[in-house]
Amino acid sequence: VGGEQISSIGRGLCVLLGISLEDTQRELEHMVRKILNLRVFEDESGKHWSKSVMDKQYEVLCVSQFTLQCILKGNKPDYHMAMPTEQAECFYNNFLEQLRKAYKPELIKDGKFGAYMQVHIQNDGPVTIELESPAATVDPKQLTKLEKQQQRKEKTRTKVPSESSRERNVPRNKDDPSASSGAEGDVSSEREP
């Protein structure tokens, strides 16, 4: 973060956590159990898919990554399904707390929520596994319904006074206080994981 290394682990798991609008305490508890008990490591005899991070006493590095909640609208990424920043930060901190309670606190590391980070991962195998809680699994019809609800919410938001078309087409400066933080779906380095 800002050219400074704030966290690192040796062997273990790198968890990229995308927090959805729909996530609750139930999903959080499910994910903590799955992450800590997922058998992705070899045992002492070299048998693959036999041991969990807890079995091996390995470390876990967690990175909050709202971009995992991306829905493509044509070629443009849309992040409306990501939990808003303030709620997501609370959820993320609770997630870390639950991981530390269920395992060894000194073996759970994290990045800096909401910061622009350079994350270096040496993916052994490479093995990458997507985990979703059962309640988070949404069928395509339901997703379409959620998208329509979100679009209706967007249309009903208070409109700002009309700007000239010239002003509307000026790119936003990230230092501009009126620029979006990314919570409304804009891509912004201020909200990058």
The answer to whether the CB of 136 falls within 8 A of the CB of 82 is no
The whole-angstrom separation of Cα 180 and Cα 164 is 19
Torsion on CA atoms 121, 122, 127, 130, rounded to nearest 10: 0
DSSP-assigned beta bridge partners for residue 76:
73
| CB distance 109 to 53 below 8 Å | no
Indicate which residues carry an active-site annotation.
67
* 115-124 contacts, C-beta under 8 A, 24 or more apart: 115/1, 115/2, 115/192, 115/193, 116/1, 116/189, 116/190, 116/192, 117/1, 117/63, 117/192, 117/193, 119/14, 119/63, 119/193, 121/14, 123/14, 124/11
* Distance of alpha carbon 82 from alpha carbon 71, whole angstroms: 10
